[in-house]
Structure 1
Amino acid sequence: MLHRPVTRLFTIALGCVALLGSGRFFPAAGVATPTRFPAASLSPLESQLLSVPDSARARQTLRALTAKPHLAGTPEDYATALYVRDELAKAGFQSELVEYDVYLPRPKSRRVEMTAPTKYRCRLTEPTLPDDPDSASPLAVPTFAAWSPSAKVEAPVVYANYGLPRDYAVLDQLGVSVRGKIVLVRYGECYRGVKAQVAQARGAAGLLVYSDPKDDGYVQGKTYPDGPWRTDNCVQRGSYRAFTQSPGDPLTPGRPSKKGVPRLSPKAAGLPQIPIQPLSYRDALPILESLQGPVAPKEWIGGLPIEYRIGDGATRARMVLEMDYRQRTIWNVIGTLPGHVLPDEWILLGNHRDAWVYGAVDPSSGTTAMLEVARAFGELRKTGWQPQRTIKLCSWDAEEYGLIGSTEWVEEHLGELREKAVCYLNVDSAVSGDNFRASAVPSLWEIAKSVLRDTPDSSGTRSLYDNWRAQDKNATEVRFGKLGSGSDYAPFLQLAGIACLDMASTGSYGVYHSTYDSFRWMEKFGDPLFTRHTAMARGWALLAFRLSESARIELNLLDYAREIERLAQALAQEHPKLDAAALLDAARDLATAAEAFETEADTKATLAARNRQRRQFEGFLLTPDGLPKRLDARHVIYAPGVFTGYGAEVFSGIRYALERDDAEDIVHATTQVVAALKQAAQALHGEK
């Protein structure tokens, strides 16, 4: 059993600003031996900004945020909202609580048991671990699948690997139908809601989803509390709403869920219709072990010490679930630092606050980093500094249920966001290890790389940029990921058309969405010295600072247009039968327009108008009607894949139509992309 390292703490006084401004940066408290980071490109104000995040204080903040489980809509969740509101106010932000009344489920009772060929009742619990006292809390919500209906079913069990369409195609080849049966699948490969959506479409009577040790358990390494990976009784809670449905409150699509707003009936909300329950691999083992019938394909074999089989009808299970659905209040917190030159241009930073249980990684590490960002800006304000542009720090609620808090706020402020927002910078699970990564739209690549080169990582001896690049020894440049969904940037990108970035410091993390995602896990494995939290806060703060302070909005439209042209060419090569001539022409024309735009110099007379073109460029890449057969996505370039959910898919509308061989939708989706690219090019030319 490991113990917490004893660390010699020290604090950097703000009186050292003169030294910091000379081009050397000392990491904040929490590092045993002070090391220097070359940062000659930092201005004195930037050096001061980076000197503020403090690892000892970050540790205290995370302990406060994880003191109790805080599921969305609970009194404990409200307490965290008040805490964040008050901390933002202390840092000098105008801080407000924003309430919404949304439809949320909680479990009342759950029973899952194997009834044949032998009897076994699943425990469905996560036991207390002596090494982690927080695991004993009676406030932890029981293991459940959010948005499962109440139901009682008994049926034969069929094992279907990850529960993707390709897996059901294998079952078809084997002559195995899942209609009227309970499907058992493992987590991984896609967003869990996809598993429910596909099982329901296939006629399944119920769905059991378990965590296989091959994916995030003992096959990966030591399990908690001896290591960071998922132990045998650890269960992944989560939302099972389909991403193809409208995001946010399911009863108020397209409208903020305020009192008096018309609501759909629950039956019209597109929620899952089959019962769903997550399992630990300890509970799944007796069921899987009893299955007979065809041997599972090699790719379907997990890490349990059994022969994986599909099932022949002899193994049966019963699911009895009772859920409590009702309107519940949730609380966003919005902190505003008004710009004194351009108050109507907004730099938004966001992180959700609600957790399935404690959420030390997901999302409390992000909230901890955000509060260090707030304190850093607060210290600058004491010197008389004010941001050029308005900076907003946003703490979202009910993200875990399906991006609800952020979506409701975007719906309420949609017109204002489209007019004023420069970008949205998201950090969700800020820290689960020491490997930095980021995803972003291409217009943010240049400014983000510049910031990451100037920000020390947790070691204090190299930059976040070098940390990221070192993860691929063959890379000469970092590669930004593509934005799909699964975190709060999605409504900003898909509904409001705002340039977005998402970043994290990642590592071995097997306790996702469980009781064991706790403060104890973080101090043992995720960030023992809490220097990774402060590194994330520095990068986040410096990016917001530079975006706020530069006269020219730092969105590179030529980078974006060239990437779109490259992606269009790749799509045409990948699908030679696709009539891509109009798409390629539109992408080429946009690149030409962007090159002319970026070549032209900003002048005092043109700067305001050209900045407006920069911040509104992303919005031209939305299609107002949404992608074909989709209610969740409007962005014609980047959207979550229908069968990935979290993962991004480039030209998703076209690709989904090609996958279904739907000639009408192929034309429709291609036309949507061409129209958007032409609109964007015209906007850069100054045409209406």
Structure 2
Amino acid sequence: MQGVVLGCSKQRSPFNEIRGQWTKDLWEGFGIQANLTTHEANLTYPGDHRVALLDLNLKDPLVQEARRIEDTAPGAGPGQKPFIPSFFAWAGVGNVTAQYVFANFGLREDYDDLLNANVTVRGRIAVVKTVFGSSLLRKLHMGVHRQEQMQVAAEYGLAGLIVYTDPQLDGELTEANGYEAFPDGPARPPSMIERGVMSFAGSTFAIPAMPIAFADAIPILRALNGYGPSATEFGERWQGGGLNYKDVHYNVGPSPNNIVLNLCNKPIFPDGQVHHVIGTIPGSTFPDEVIMLGTHRDSWSPGAGDGSSGSSALNEVARSFGTALAQGWAPSRTIILASFEGVEFSLPGTQDWWEQNHWLNTSAFAYLNVVSAGAASKFHVQGSPLLGRAMRYGTGLVLDPNINANNQTMLDVWDGEVSIGTGGDASVLLGTELLSSVDFGFSAGEGDPPFPYHSLYDTDEWMDCYGDPNREYHLTTTKIWSLAVFALANDVLIPVTTNEYAVLLQGSLESVDMPGLHISSMENAINDLHQATLTFDTYADNLGSQILAQPDEPKLLSKAREVNQKYIKIERIFADPHPQSSSDRHLIIPRVPYYFQSSAFPALQESIAAGNLSAAEVSISGPLVNLY
């Protein structure tokens, strides 16, 4: 079924409830017990919004007003509510008119560069490039979310923020290089707008923000030509803007006194509901131990890549499990399948569902999440290292779908190391609830057509032409998902190597660098954890060998339960007792999606980035030295 952004307020169509019921009926048809749960949520929808370029010296000052719906974008379909116009969920509310500056990617380093060049930013509107993942951003080791762009803009005193999609992020496949824009070719459509959520916490920022297409950014940036330094006068991070062919010189401004932007962001905030579909396959030997898998059903757009591809893969996993159940299979552990709603609006309802099922705090070991099952060729695995072993099992049994793969497995393609971060609903289940989680799937890599992320061009037509024409990536993700869950749910001992966490922490110490910050106590704590996990893994391996020899021995099964309970508790030891926010409680793993380049110790790294030695010392002297 086609995706649609978050379900129903008191005033809106209950279409997502209908989609939830459709999913429930589908799973029940596969032979899986399923329930549709409803949760009250604070929502936000478009209201009064505007981005306009004004020349105050003209009798009619309006030079251009940015569009809010893509050109030639598809409709939502007969009988369905239209897709919403572009806006940023949970951006600040306001209506400001001010001079503006071009601030590159809107990072702290970018604003510092402007200030060092004597460019005033306080009280001005910043125009910045999107930071959605691309091979360029990976090359520059830049890993931020638009939330950080928003937070940094507020810290530096900006009056507002406008984010556009620069073709610079798209590599070779651009109009400037002679490629036609989709739907006539693979290049990014000039009118494509990248929507998104600005706050993981579901609370508004202090300043307004809006997304615009690069077609509408062109006149705004052209108006800065000749004003202020050029991007060519700054460092590597500023180079390579993709709109030079449109006569954009990438001067930073500020704009002259008469050339201003009007930025209005006045959304509405209705009370509403989200609907989750929860499927359950009871465990036979360890029914009180739970393995979860899931994805989100909602999207900002048609959502062929994000998130219908994840939903289609989840439905296929459900079908395969249903087939196995019909043939007499029963997992050792309970399996819970979850089709969540609301991730695109900062996950309202996911945490509520978890809190209503508090028994999972002592029963659930893992959550395996897929958002993008097949939007391009690059495979990623991101989350807790405790799930590395299960993911290596799944990827080791599935062939790489690429034509020139020469029968190599996905484990050969992937390096077998779970990278740091979270994604989709895993961001709340790992980052807030400390449930060991991974997000994996296929997304755009180097040389792939740009993914029309969160835009109305994320359609089946784009998927058929450029994303995954034969759905081979979808199928590969589905196979890996099924196999990894099978391993986690079927083995008497949950397949875990706890030392992988200690190895991650030891490697991450290299990124902890700040003059005056002494980390010897943290090093000692991690070394102690390293030795303890080696000892525990040896014990678990020996126990596993005994169980293979005597699979029905009650004493051995009792010891297996004890080991599994320790596995369930391990992630929870990394809970921050004094988190900076209620949604960011993990000491080690930040709440960031797959396309980020992230580092461990998010609170500590934030203190280091801000130059706050005292806050960094608090992190070092507190929970990070009491890991074991």
With normalisation by structure 2, the TM-score equals 0.85
Shift of 1:76: 2.4
CA distance in 2, matches of 1:646, 1:408: 27
1:426 to 338, 354, 369: 369
1:396 alignment counterpart:
340
Shift of 1:467: 4.2
1:668 alignment counterpart:
618
Number of aligned residue pairs? 574
CA distance in 1, matches of 2:227, 2:76: 43
| Amino acid corresponding to residue 229 of structure 2 in structure 1 | V
1:294 alignment counterpart:
228
Kindly tell me: are residues 133 and 384 of structure 1, through their superposed partners in 2, closer, same or farther at Cα, counting changes over 3 Å? same
2:437 alignment counterpart:
500
**Structure 1 position 442 matched with structure 2 position 385:** yes
| Amino acid corresponding to residue 561 of structure 2 in structure 1 | A
CA distance in 2, matches of 1:528, 1:272: 40
The DSSP-based 3-state class of the residue aligned with 1:431 is coil
| Greater Cα offset, 83-92 or 577-586 | 577-586
Shift of 1:612: 0.8
Equivalent residues of 1:106, 1:324 under 8 A apart? yes
2:590 alignment counterpart:
639
| Amino acid corresponding to residue 651 of structure 1 in structure 2 | F
Equivalent residues of 1:147, 1:240 under 8 A apart? yes
Alignment of 1:198-237 (within 5 A): 198-216=152-170, 218=175, 222-237=180-195
**Offset from partner CA, 1:508-560 (integer Å, 9 cap, x none):** 33310001101111111112112221221111011111111100111111222
2:111 alignment counterpart:
168
**Offset from partner CA, 1:66-102 (integer Å, 9 cap, x none):** 5xx4443342222221111111111222211111111
Shift of 1:675: 4.4
**Structure 1 position 658 matched with structure 2 position 592:** no
2:151 alignment counterpart:
197
CA distance in 2, matches of 1:151, 1:212: 25
Kindly tell me: are residues 463 and 557 of structure 1, through their superposed partners in 2, closer, same or farther at Cα, counting changes over 3 Å? farther
Kindly tell me: are residues 146 and 605 of structure 1, through their superposed partners in 2, closer, same or farther at Cα, counting changes over 3 Å? closer
| Greater Cα offset, 454-463 or 111-120 | 454-463
Kindly tell me: are residues 134 and 464 of structure 1, through their superposed partners in 2, closer, same or farther at Cα, counting changes over 3 Å? farther
2:276 alignment counterpart:
332
**Structure 1 position 103 matched with structure 2 position 42:** yes
Equivalent residues of 1:452, 1:463 under 8 A apart? no
**Structure 1 position 528 matched with structure 2 position 479:** no
**Structure 1 position 307 matched with structure 2 position 257:** no
CA distance in 1, matches of 2:121, 2:149: 13
Shift of 1:465: 7.0
CA distance in 2, matches of 1:589, 1:173: 44
**Structure 1 position 609 matched with structure 2 position 544:** no
Kindly tell me: are residues 462 and 411 of structure 1, through their superposed partners in 2, closer, same or farther at Cα, counting changes over 3 Å? farther
CA distance in 1, matches of 2:95, 2:51: 10
| Greater Cα offset, 296-305 or 212-221 | 212-221
| Greater Cα offset, 337-346 or 135-144 | 135-144
Kindly tell me: are residues 148 and 437 of structure 1, through their superposed partners in 2, closer, same or farther at Cα, counting changes over 3 Å? closer
CA distance in 2, matches of 1:399, 1:464: 36
CA distance in 1, matches of 2:147, 2:321: 39
The DSSP-based 3-state class of the residue aligned with 2:270 is strand
**Offset from partner CA, 1:481-506 (integer Å, 9 cap, x none):** 211x4521122212222221111112
**Structure 1 position 272 matched with structure 2 position 272:** no
CA distance in 2, matches of 1:380, 1:560: 33
Kindly tell me: are residues 198 and 571 of structure 1, through their superposed partners in 2, closer, same or farther at Cα, counting changes over 3 Å? closer
| Amino acid corresponding to residue 620 of structure 1 in structure 2 | I
Equivalent residues of 1:636, 1:672 under 8 A apart? no
**Structure 1 position 562 matched with structure 2 position 503:** yes
The DSSP-based 3-state class of the residue aligned with 2:7 is coil
**Offset from partner CA, 1:221-254 (integer Å, 9 cap, x none):** 653113344210110111112x4xxx3xx4xxxx
| Amino acid corresponding to residue 380 of structure 2 in structure 1 | R
| Greater Cα offset, 515-524 or 663-672 | 663-672
2:138 alignment counterpart:
none
**Structure 1 position 322 matched with structure 2 position 284:** no
2:122 to 157, 179, 204: 179
Kindly tell me: are residues 438 and 376 of structure 1, through their superposed partners in 2, closer, same or farther at Cα, counting changes over 3 Å? same
Kindly tell me: are residues 566 and 649 of structure 1, through their superposed partners in 2, closer, same or farther at Cα, counting changes over 3 Å? closer
1:27 alignment counterpart:
none
1:591 alignment counterpart:
530
Equivalent residues of 1:453, 1:465 under 8 A apart? no
Unaligned runs of 5+ in 2: 132-141, 544-555
CA distance in 2, matches of 1:638, 1:585: 20
The DSSP-based 3-state class of the residue aligned with 1:360 is coil
1:75 alignment counterpart:
14
Kindly tell me: are residues 215 and 462 of structure 1, through their superposed partners in 2, closer, same or farther at Cα, counting changes over 3 Å? closer
Shift of 1:142: 0.6
The DSSP-based 3-state class of the residue aligned with 2:441 is strand
**Offset from partner CA, 1:381-421 (integer Å, 9 cap, x none):** 111111111111111111011122322223333x4222001
Equivalent residues of 2:508, 2:599 under 8 A apart? no
CA distance in 2, matches of 1:567, 1:201: 27
1:24 alignment counterpart:
none
2:51 to 102, 112, 129: 112
**Structure 1 position 84 matched with structure 2 position 23:** yes
Unaligned runs of 5+ in 1: 1-63, 251-268, 472-476, 679-688
2:33 to 94, 101, 107: 94
CA distance in 2, matches of 1:273, 1:644: 27
Kindly tell me: are residues 567 and 311 of structure 1, through their superposed partners in 2, closer, same or farther at Cα, counting changes over 3 Å? closer
Equivalent residues of 2:40, 2:273 under 8 A apart? yes
Shift of 1:605: 4.2
Kindly tell me: are residues 219 and 399 of structure 1, through their superposed partners in 2, closer, same or farther at Cα, counting changes over 3 Å? farther
CA distance in 2, matches of 1:170, 1:464: 49
1:480 alignment counterpart:
418
Kindly tell me: are residues 571 and 317 of structure 1, through their superposed partners in 2, closer, same or farther at Cα, counting changes over 3 Å? closer
Equivalent residues of 2:93, 2:206 under 8 A apart? no
Equivalent residues of 2:291, 2:489 under 8 A apart? yes
**RMSD between aligned alpha carbons?**
2.6
Percentage of identical aligned residues: 28
Equivalent residues of 2:574, 2:586 under 8 A apart? yes
Kindly tell me: are residues 554 and 290 of structure 1, through their superposed partners in 2, closer, same or farther at Cα, counting changes over 3 Å? same
CA distance in 2, matches of 1:202, 1:663: 20
The DSSP-based 3-state class of the residue aligned with 1:362 is coil
Equivalent residues of 1:425, 1:502 under 8 A apart? yes
2:298 to 354, 358, 366: 354
